[in-house]
């Protein structure tokens, strides 16, 4: 049995696709591309697909990951092309490697997020970021299946900074771009939790909902705070 690890995106309107909707679309793509999937045992066999740390519905992503098990050997590059053609635009397969090492999900230690805050002046965002980083604890609340839960949003934040917006709008239009590295913890701290923290410590309240995109996820370099490629160990093992 061959295992293939894939990186895919959620772009544009497809960021509103739920994880369950993506699962259905991906399984249809497997059938269209005639991928020779391995199946689970039991009365209702399912194609062997393992999803890892999917982004919340409503957020874009350049770095989602999954692993599939095949009953026959296939070239990862050719498989990438076939699957990408079979998925709707916005759900794009961008990388494929054969799995040579265990524990892909365990490598997803942190995420890099970009938060676009339209209607917020960069100077106001910088003051709020400074207050957030200076705080030892930033308690926020989130509604969960078990009710309202309070937790510390500050502990998971490795870095948070204000970046200059892209020149894609009128110069007079206020817009702040935040770059955020969040360590994956339990409970998970999401970008909207950090926005709640910024509102709590500095009353930063964007007039419209933030546009959130995951730029990367993978192993966290504790010395530099960088998030590295989780598929790199498989490439290295294939070359050795």
Q: Which one is the CATH code of 2-106: 3.30.70.580, 2.170.120.30, 3.40.50.970, 2.170.130.30? A: 3.30.70.580
Predicted pLDDT of residue 159: 97
Predicted pLDDT of residue 167: 56
Predicted pLDDT of residue 42: 82
pLDDT in tens, 149-197: 899 999 999 999 999 766 555 454 789 999 999 999 988 999 999 999 9
Predicted model pTM: 0.92
- Under CATH, which number does the domain 110-218 receive? 3.30.70
Cα gap 54→111, rounded to integer Å: 11
Beta strands in 101-228 (DSSP E): 110-118, 139-144, 147-152, 157-163, 175-183, 211-218
Instruction: Judge whether 2-106 and 110-218 match in fold.
Output: yes
pLDDT in tens, 5-25: 999 999 999 999 999 999 999
Predicted pLDDT of residue 8: 97
Residues of the chain with confidence (pLDDT) below 70: 165-172
Report the interhelical angle of 122-134 vs 191-202 (nearest 10°). Answer: 90
Spans of all domains in the chain: 2-106, 110-218
Cα gap 81→76, rounded to integer Å: 9
Q: Which of 117, 14, 238, 61 is nearest to 51 (CA)?
A: 61
Report the interhelical angle of 19-32 vs 76-86 (nearest 10°). Answer: 110
Q: Is 179 helix (H, G, I), strand (E, B) or coil?
A: strand
Predicted pLDDT of residue 11: 96
CA 178 to chain centre: 16
Q: What angle do CA 161, 166, 168 make, to 5 degrees?
A: 150
Count of H helices and E strands in the chain? 6, 10
Q: Is there a contact between 122 and 161 (Cβ–Cβ < 8 Å)? A: no
Predicted pLDDT of residue 168: 54
Predicted pLDDT of residue 103: 92
């Amino acid at each position: 049995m061959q295992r293939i690890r894939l990186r895919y995106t959620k772009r544009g309107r497809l960021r509103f696709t739920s994880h369950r909707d993506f699962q259905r679309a991906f399984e249809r793509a497997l059938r269209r591309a005639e991928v020779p999937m391995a199946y689970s045992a039991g009365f209702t066999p399912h194609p062997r697909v393992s999803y890892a740390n999917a982004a919340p519905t409503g957020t874009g992503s350049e770095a989602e990951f999954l692993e599939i098990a095949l009953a026959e050997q296939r070239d990862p590059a050719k498989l990438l092309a076939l699957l990408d053609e079979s998925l709707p635009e916005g759900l794009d397969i961008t990388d494929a490697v054969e799995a040579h090492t265990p524990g892909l999900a365990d490598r997803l230690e942190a995420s890099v997020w970009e938060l676009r805050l339209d209607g917020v002046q960069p100077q106001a965002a910088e003051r709020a970021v400074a207050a957030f980083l200076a705080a030892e604890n930033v308690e926020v609340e989130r509604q969960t299946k078990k009710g309202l839960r309070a937790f510390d949003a500050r502990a998971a934040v490795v870095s948070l900074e204000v970046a200059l917006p892209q020149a894609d709008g009128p110069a007079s239009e206020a817009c702040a771009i935040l770059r955020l590295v969040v360590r994956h913890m339990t409970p998970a701290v999401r970008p909207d939790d950090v926005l709640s923290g910024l509102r709590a410590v500095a009353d930063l309240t964007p007039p419209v909902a933030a546009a959130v995109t995951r730029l990367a996820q993978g192993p966290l370099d504790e010395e530099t705070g960088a998030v590295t490629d989780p598929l790199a160990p498989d490439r290295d093992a294939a070359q050795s």
